[in-house]
Amino acid sequence: MKLHVKFDISGLSVDEMIEGETSADIARTAKRVIASRLDFLSGAFVKSMSDLGFAQEVVRRYNSATGSSCSLPKSTDAFVEWVIERGLASVVE
């Protein structure tokens, strides 16, 4: 699976192609991309999260930044579906 992730929310801008065989691979790669854009300590914290924990934190921060009340994903599959439904990513292949 290959996704084009593109968003600009609360000063965090991402425009990246992310690939993975599974939704967990996608979440793990997204976690690395986001961590690389943060300061050292914040990046280290993000890297230490589980893939699902990262996905849930993304949704929490999205809700906070946009005033939404989206449910936290219970799996990385649900997370990938959520980012596509919200227009934060599109499937390339």
pLDDT of residue 86: 95
pLDDT of residue 12: 80
Domain count across the chain: 1
- Judge whether residue 44 has pLDDT over 90: yes
HEC string of 16-65?
A: EEEECCCHHHHHHHHHHHHHHCCCHHHHHHHHHCCHHHHHHHHHHHHHHH
Domain interval for residue 70: 2-91
- Judge whether residue 26 has pLDDT over 90: yes
Kindly report, residue by residue over 47-93, the tens digit of the pLDDT: 999 999 999 999 999 999 999 999 999 999 999 999 999 999 999 98
Kindly report, residue by residue over 5-14, the tens digit of the pLDDT: 998 887 788 8
Beta bridge partners of 90: 4
What's this model's pTM, rounded to 2 decimal places?
Answer: 0.90
